[in-house]
């Protein structure tokens, strides 16, 4: 990257030569286009946060128990009461004809006839208290974390999903990190040049296996094989999904770690080798410590990739929303929940918004993971180049 | 310089492609019918579409699954022409549709289904009562021993909550109680059947058309009453306790000729023969004739 | 350490051999050239031509959207931007960030922004009198745009690499001969970096071809007749077809051979694309070596 250092020279050269109008316009154009990336990151954040905002602010209020208004009372009931009863905005109400309102009243009566009765019916289940803390719903023996979004009383406790996502990602990392880093050390430090040139592309090719293929493999082949080998109860579980997820994460961790290890200047290892240490000693006590932040970054970025992966966990975890840290229990992740449930929700409904809350959480977590990873790599690179002491 | 002209050709080519693609959609294609919804119905809808398009080469039908809830959501968002459903529309869903297009969606019965409960082929149990099923699926019963089977824990498989079958089962069998939390939910009926096929202690449920590799058991209304197998005769005379209609819902304002023709064809003998081929049960003939006349709002 | 490497390769070998072993018989020239709109689940007759067409259509459209924006951004970053200015850093970190956004979040974004927001507004502007949405539907164009946003960082990063690898001497020489900066970029920098830019494009296509999560809500269809012919059509897709065949097929055992053959098709596609990038990179590297 020596060339970069001379870059400012020719830039200043360019600034001296008088620029024409087209030249300036083009420069502006290029500049504006380059802002697209920032725009999209902002848009993603804005559009996902916007949909989940009512939940964060606690303004999703709905009343389930109401006095029924008979259809023939349409003309005698004051508009305000009707609007509240039918959940209509003033504009909507204005635009509707009498027949439509009658239809709505009719349907509302049917809804009330089927509405749940009992102590839970008045609970605003989208409040944070019900999203995060255990609660004893009627019909349950003890307070519990319950995710049952399709139910008369819709229960949206997200704790089982958070645990599910963390659990599968951690299993994936436990499986992937030792293997990927071991391979990175081998390829970058110990392997002969000829082998290195073959193995690196092969592991890079692994990154090219689409996640739906890994999910299919875990679901159809691995789940059965592992169950037959170990004889546990639940065929699809966090372990199966975690291993498949690990296979998806290995190439990510490998390539970042390998990059960090090779960016340690040759002078380090040459010095160690000259002092009589073996290749392995050099790798483990000189190169590895120097590249440690990079390896840390690789793990963090691998975590970001694992927790955001969708198809593998959708197909291989069994999707049971339980609070359990057991590796052999089935589990439900944030991503699989969004993928399985989003399509059926009504745009703007509370279930839809809760799923966007999950999306916001996911976005936040991966954002942090990426930020930490990138900052660490950046600093490591600069230190190895000798720019910071 | 040759490189320069190469780039120019490439850019010109790309520009042309963009131009063609951008102007093409402005030619509206009214004949495309979009079908969305129930996974139980999706294999049937797909077969229907195949056969219909063989007869009518100019028709174009696109089918997507995702669950009955998906179909209703799409109907009220007006992103589908037909919504497949394995349960009746809920009042809140009707209300949303009325707000969107000022009419109740029209309900059309398209076939009968005996909701089937699957066990692994090696499981000695051949019949269960509705009460047994309720205890298993709400997590009150966790061992096969309780039903005279092996001393082994029960692994329970269910459908995703977007599925109409999930809601139908919840209403009919669980009486609106919640499914136990440790139940595994699968993204499709085929996945449930496959899991039960592989899992010696598994139990799952789904539409009648899927029971090829797992064992479909007989169901009784209570422990005293006789158990019935989910076959055509038992479903038609309603002795099988968990039978249901499968539906298509349509926005009544959307009844373009293409859609009306297609729905009529579905209820015709040809359409109903495909129902049998796929593994569901055809409508009783009197029922079909009544709806064949016109498409009108329910009630 | 060599052991760890061996484990990775062993896993890859097991997966690939299992897939090849089970799917080889069903995978044939007939399979990839037959349509699926008749007998989609018949293992003797079903094919994946429509899925190949759908997947190709969405990646080609994606390429058209992503390449100009990605390449221009990279040009700005390497040729125009001041190093280490706040804005440059901001763009750089936006690029890194975009690369790490989970694919399902792109799916959410695609639905919320492209389908509902852009599509909804297009309906309001272009077809105000019709009630039924035409643009606000999951469609080919929205899936492609979603994927374009997702692969933007891939194109930017590899184009940047290609641009940085060009010796500054070339630019200086061009400017010294009186060319403006724009002329230098168009006549010297881009042609020199073209192989590298194309590598980025192929890499992006390889990444996008197998993605399913972003297209779940933005355009993939379970089944349709014929091929997508309009931007607003839905499409069948190889990856989504694998998902369908392994969870929603009417008879999983009976369609197992189609499933495996579809997996082979998708893997062949992504591996060819990846191999292509690796080879292109190797060629560029050797060329640069002789250059210096």
The CATH number given to whatever domain includes residue A214 is 1.10.3720.10
Specify whether the CB–CB gap between B147 and B153 falls below 8 A.
Answer: no
Q: Last residue of some domain: B191, B218, B236?
A: B236
Asked if the model's pLDDT at residue B27 lies above 50, the reply is no
Chain A with chain B: Cβ pairs closer than 8 A: 126
What is the average per-residue pLDDT within A66-82? 77
Higher-confidence residue of A283 and A46: namely A46
Closest partner residue to C225 among B17, B61, B213, by Cβ? B61
User: How many angstroms separate the CA of residue B21 from the nearest CA in chain C?
Assistant: 7
Beta-carbon separation of C233 and B32 below 8 A: yes
Specify whether the CB–CB gap between C247 and B190 falls below 8 A.
Answer: yes
Instruction: Establish if C248 touches chain A: CB-CB under 8 angstroms.
Output: no
Do B213 and B285 lie in one domain? The reply is no
Q: How many CB atoms lie within 10 A of CB B230?
A: 23
Specify whether the CB–CB gap between A359 and C213 falls below 8 A.
Answer: no
Determine the pLDDT at residue A3: 41
**Which CATH number fits the domain that encloses residue B150?**
3.40.190.10
- What global pTM score does this model have? 0.87
What is the average per-residue pLDDT within B154-174? 88
- Reported as half-sphere exposure (CB side, CA atoms, 13 A), residue A13 has a value of 20
Closest partner residue to C105 among A44, A185, A209, by Cβ? A44
Determine the pLDDT at residue C230: 83
Closest partner residue to C64 among B14, B61, B63, by Cβ? B14
In a domain, A194, yes or no: yes
Mutate which of C224, C236, C242, C259 to test chain B, going by most B C-beta atoms within 10 A?
Answer: C224
Instruction: Establish if C228 touches chain B: CB-CB under 8 angstroms.
Output: no
In a domain, A127, yes or no: no
Chain B with chain C: Cβ pairs closer than 8 A: 124
Rounded to an integer, what distance in angstroms lies between the CA atom of residue B64 and that of residue C220? 8
| Chain A environment of C171 (Cβ under 8 Å) | 10
Instruction: Establish if B46 touches chain C: CB-CB under 8 angstroms.
Output: yes
Determine the pLDDT at residue B143: 93
Comparing alpha-carbon positions, the chain A residue that sits nearest to B170 is A151
Beta-carbon separation of C248 and B50 below 8 A: no
Instruction: Establish if B29 touches chain C: CB-CB under 8 angstroms.
Output: yes
Kindly list the partner chains of chain A, i.e. chains with 3 or more CB atom pairs below 8 Å: B, C
User: Backbone phi, then psi, for B257, in 5-degree steps?
Assistant: -55, -40
| Chain C environment of B279 (Cβ under 8 Å) | 250
Domain that holds residue A355: 159-384
Do B129 and B108 lie in one domain? The reply is no
Written as six digits, the tokens of A363 are 């976005």
Do B256 and B219 lie in one domain? The reply is no
In a domain, A255, yes or no: yes
Closest partner residue to C108 among A191, A247, A359, by Cβ? A359
Specify whether the CB–CB gap between B232 and B238 falls below 8 A.
Answer: no
CA dihedral (A68, A71, A74, A76) positive or negative: negative
In a domain, B3, yes or no: no
Q: How many helices (H) and strands (E) does chain A have?
A: 18, 2
Q: Last residue of some domain: B236, B266, B283?
A: B236
Strand pairing class (B32-37; B82-85): parallel
Do B107 and B76 lie in one domain? The reply is yes
Do B123 and B232 lie in one domain? The reply is yes
In a domain, B174, yes or no: yes
Q: Last residue of some domain: B197, B212, B236?
A: B236
Measuring CA to CA, which residue among B192, B199, B207 is closest to residue B121? B199
Instruction: Establish if C173 touches chain A: CB-CB under 8 angstroms.
Output: no
Beta-carbon separation of C251 and B210 below 8 A: yes
Q: Give contacts of B 192-221 with A, CB under 8 A.
A: 194-195, 198-199, 201-202
Q: What angle do CA C160, C162, C168 make, to 5 degrees?
A: 95
Place of tokens 């349409």: A74
Radius of gyration of chain C (CA): 22
Determine the pLDDT at residue B20: 56
| Chain B environment of A146 (Cβ under 8 Å) | 178, 181
DSSP string spanning C105-168?
HHHHHIIIIIIIIIIHHHHHHH-TT-SS-SSSS--HHHHHHHHHHHHHHHHHHHHHHHHHTS-H
What band does A387 get if pLDDT is binned at 50, 70 and 90?
low
Instruction: Establish if C125 touches chain B: CB-CB under 8 angstroms.
Output: no
| A115-165 pLDDT per residue, tens | 766 667 777 778 888 888 888 887 788 888 889 888 878 889 999 999 999
Beta-carbon separation of B3 and C194 below 8 A: yes
Written as six digits, the tokens of C20 are 């090849």
Beta-carbon separation of B194 and C226 below 8 A: no
Burial-class residue B177 by CB neighbours within 10 Å (0-12, 13-18, 19+).
middle
Q: Give contacts of C 44-63 with A, CB under 8 A.
A: none
Determine the pLDDT at residue B162: 76
Comparing alpha-carbon positions, the chain B residue that sits nearest to A227 is B199
Beta-carbon separation of C251 and B190 below 8 A: yes
| Average pLDDT along chain B | 82
Instruction: Establish if B25 touches chain C: CB-CB under 8 angstroms.
Output: yes
Number of domains in chain A: 1
Beta-carbon separation of A35 and C275 below 8 A: no
| Chain C environment of B121 (Cβ under 8 Å) | none
Beta-carbon separation of C181 and A342 below 8 A: no
| A170-212 pLDDT per residue, tens | 999 999 999 999 999 999 888 888 888 888 888 888 888 999 9
| Average pLDDT along chain A | 84
| Chain B environment of A150 (Cβ under 8 Å) | 69, 161-162, 166-167, 170
Determine the pLDDT at residue A233: 79
User: Backbone phi, then psi, for B127, in 5-degree steps?
Assistant: -150, 150
Number of domains in chain B: 2
Comparing A63-67, A362-366, B278-282, C52-56, which segment has the lowest mean pLDDT? A63-67
| Chain B environment of C51 (Cβ under 8 Å) | none
| A305-340 pLDDT per residue, tens | 999 999 999 999 988 888 888 888 899 999 999 998
Q: List per-block mean pLDDT (blocks of 10 residues) for chain C, which spans 292 residues.
A: 88 92 88 82 85 92 94 92 85 90 93 90 83 82 96 93 88 87 87 88 91 91 84 91 86 85 93 86 73 53
Do B155 and B210 lie in one domain? The reply is yes
Rounded to an integer, what distance in angstroms lies between the CA atom of residue A82 and that of residue C43? 58
Specify whether the CB–CB gap between C233 and B62 falls below 8 A.
Answer: yes
Asked if the model's pLDDT at residue B67 lies above 90, the reply is no
Domain that holds residue B37: 9-113+245-294
| Chain A environment of B67 (Cβ under 8 Å) | 343-344
Q: How does B5-28 read in b/e, with b if 16+ C-beta sit within 10 Å?
A: eeeeeeeeeeeeeeeebeeebeee
Determine the pLDDT at residue B6: 57
Do B158 and B192 lie in one domain? The reply is yes
Do B103 and B140 lie in one domain? The reply is no
Rounded to an integer, what distance in angstroms lies between the CA atom of residue A326 and that of residue A309? 21
| Chain C environment of A7 (Cβ under 8 Å) | 83, 168
| Chain A environment of C111 (Cβ under 8 Å) | 342
Q: Map out the domains of chain C with their CATH numbers.
A: 2-105+141-291 (1.10.3720.10)
Do B223 and B169 lie in one domain? The reply is yes
Q: Helix (H, G, I), strand (E, B), or coil: what is residue B27?
A: coil
Higher-confidence residue of C132 and B282: namely B282
Determine the pLDDT at residue C285: 74
Beta-carbon separation of A152 and B201 below 8 A: no
What is the average per-residue pLDDT within B136-163? 89
Do B37 and B140 lie in one domain? The reply is no
Rounded to an integer, what distance in angstroms lies between the CA atom of residue A89 and that of residue B64? 33
| B116-127 pLDDT per residue, tens | 999 999 999 999
3-state helix, strand, coil in chain C (%, to 5): 70, 0, 25
What band does B205 get if pLDDT is binned at 50, 70 and 90?
very high
Do B62 and B132 lie in one domain? The reply is no
Instruction: Establish if B60 touches chain A: CB-CB under 8 angstroms.
Output: no
Q: Give contacts of C 161-200 with B, CB under 8 A.
A: 187, 190-191, 194
Q: Helix (H, G, I), strand (E, B), or coil: what is residue B179?
A: coil
DSSP string spanning B220-269?
ESSSSSPEE--SHHHHHTT-STTEEEEEEEE-GGG--HHHHHHHHHHHSH
């Amino acid at each position: 990257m020596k060339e970069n250092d001379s870059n400012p020279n020719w830039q200043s050269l360019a600034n001296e030569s008088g620029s024409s109008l087209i030249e300036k316009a083009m420069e502006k154009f290029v500049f504006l286009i380059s802002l697209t990336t920032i725009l999209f990151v902002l848009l993603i954040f804005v559009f996902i946060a916007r949909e989940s905002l009512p939940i964060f602010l606690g303004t999703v209020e709905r009343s389930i128990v109401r006095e029924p208004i008979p259809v023939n009372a349409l003309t005698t009931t004051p508009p305000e009461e009707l609007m509240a009863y039918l959940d209509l905005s003033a504009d909507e109400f204005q635009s509707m004809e009498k027949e439509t309102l009658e239809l709505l009243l009719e349907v509302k009566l049917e809804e009330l006839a089927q509405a749940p009765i009992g102590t839970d019916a008045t609970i605003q289940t989208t409040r944070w208290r019900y999203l995060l803390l255990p609660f004893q719903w009627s019909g349950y023996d003890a307070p519990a974390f319950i995710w049952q979004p399709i139910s008369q009383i819709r229960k949206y406790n997200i704790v089982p999903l958070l645990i599910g996502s963390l659990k599968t990602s951690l299993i994936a990392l436990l499986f992937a990190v030792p293997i990927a880093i071991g391979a990175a050390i081998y390829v970058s430090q110990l392997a002969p040049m000829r082998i290195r040139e073959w193995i690196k592309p092969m592991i890079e090719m692994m990154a090219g296996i689409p996640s739906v293929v890994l999910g299919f493999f875990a679901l159809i082949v691995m789940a059965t094989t592992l169950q037959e080998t170990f004889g546990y109860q639940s065929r699809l579980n966090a372990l199966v999904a975690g291993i498949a997820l690990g296979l998806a994460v290995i190439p990510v961790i490998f390539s970042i770690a390998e990059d960090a290890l090779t960016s340690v200047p040759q002078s380090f290892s040459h010095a160690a080798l000259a002092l009589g240490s073996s290749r392995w000693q050099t790798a483990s006590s000189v190169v590895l410590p120097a590249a440690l932040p990079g390896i840390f970054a690789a793990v963090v970025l691998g975590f970001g990739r694992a927790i955001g992966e969708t198809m593998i966990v959708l197909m291989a975890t069994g999707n049971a929303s339980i609070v359990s840290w057991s590796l052999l229990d089935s589990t439900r992740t944030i991503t699989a929940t969004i993928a399985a449930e989003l399509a059926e929700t009504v745009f703007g409904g509370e279930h839809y918004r809760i799923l966007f809350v999950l999306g916001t959480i996911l976005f936040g977590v991966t954002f942090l993971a990426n930020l930490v990873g990138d900052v660490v790599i950046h600093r490591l690179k600069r230190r190895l180049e000798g720019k910071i002491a | 310089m040759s490189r320069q002209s190469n780039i120019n050709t490439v850019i010109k080519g790309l520009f042309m492609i963009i131009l063609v693609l951008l102007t093409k959609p402005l030619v509206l294609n009214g004949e495309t019918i979009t079908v969305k919804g129930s996974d139980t119905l999706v294999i049937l809808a797909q077969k229907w579409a195949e056969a219909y398009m063989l007869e009518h080469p100019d028709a174009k039908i696109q089918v997507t699954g995702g669950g009955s809830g998906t179909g209703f959501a799409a109907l009220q968002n007006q992103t589908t022409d037909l919504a497949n459903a394995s349960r009746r529309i809920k009042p809140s869903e009707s209300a949303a549709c009325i707000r969107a297009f000022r009419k109740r969606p029209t309900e059309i019965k398209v076939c009968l289904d005996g909701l089937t409960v699957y066990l692994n082929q090696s499981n000695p149990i051949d019949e269960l009562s509705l009460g047994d099923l309720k205890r298993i699926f709400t997590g009150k019963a966790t061992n096969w021993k309780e039903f005279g089977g092996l001393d082994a824990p029960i692994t329970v498989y269910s459908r995703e909550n977007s599925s109409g079958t999930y809601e139908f089962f919840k209403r009919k069998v669980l009486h609106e109680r919640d499914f136990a939390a440790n139940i595994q939910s699968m993204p499709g009926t085929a996945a449930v059947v496959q899991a039960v096929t592989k899992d010696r202690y598994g139990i799952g449920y789904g539409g009648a058309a899927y029971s090829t590799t797992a064992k479909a058991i007989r169901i009784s209304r209570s422990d005293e009453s006789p158990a019935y197998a989910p076959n055509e005769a038992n479903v038609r005379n309603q002795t099988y306790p968990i039978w249901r209609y499968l539906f298509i819902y349509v926005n009544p304002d959307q009844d373009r000729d293409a859609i009306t023709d297609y729905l009529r064809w579905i209820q015709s003998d040809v359409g109903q023969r495909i129902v049998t081929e796929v593994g569901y049960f055809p409508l009783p003939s009197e029922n079909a004739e009544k709806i064949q006349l016109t498409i009108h709002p329910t009630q | 350490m060599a052991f760890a490497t061996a484990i990775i390769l062993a896993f890859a070998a097991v997966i690939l051999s299992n897939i090849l072993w089970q799917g080889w018989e069903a995978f044939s020239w007939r399979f990839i050239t037959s349509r699926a709109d008749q007998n989609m689940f018949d293992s003797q007759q079903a094919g994946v031509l429509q899925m190949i067409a759908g997947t190709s259509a969405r990646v080609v459209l994606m390429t058209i959207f992503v390449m100009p924006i990605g390449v221009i951004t990279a040009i700005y970053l390497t040729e125009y931007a001041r190093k280490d200015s706040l804005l440059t850093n901001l763009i750089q970190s936006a690029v890194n960030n975009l690369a790490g956004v989970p694919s399902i979040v792109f799916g959410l974004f695609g639905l919320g922004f492209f389908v509902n927001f852009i599509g909804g507004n297009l309906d309001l502007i272009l077809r105000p009198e019709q009630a039924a949405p035409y643009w606000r539907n999951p469609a080919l164009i929205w899936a492609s745009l979603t994927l374009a946003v997702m692969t933007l960082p891939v194109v930017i990063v590899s184009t940047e690499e290609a641009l940085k690898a060009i010796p500054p001497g070339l630019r200086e020489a061009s400017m010294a001969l009186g060319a403006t900066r724009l002329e230098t970029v168009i006549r010297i920098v881009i042609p020199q970096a073209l192989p590298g830019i194309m590598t980025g494009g192929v890499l992006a296509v390889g990444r996008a071809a197998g993605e399913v999560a972003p297209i779940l809500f933005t355009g993939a269809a379970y089944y349709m007749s014929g091929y997508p012919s309009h931007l607003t059509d839905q499409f069948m897709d190889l990856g989504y077809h694998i998902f369908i065949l392994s969870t929603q097929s009417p008879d999983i055992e009976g369609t197992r051979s189609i499933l495996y053959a579809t997996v082979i098709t998708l893997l062949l596609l992504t591996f060819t694309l990846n191999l292509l990038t690796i080879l292109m990179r190797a060629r560029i590297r050797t060329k640069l070596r002789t250059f210096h």
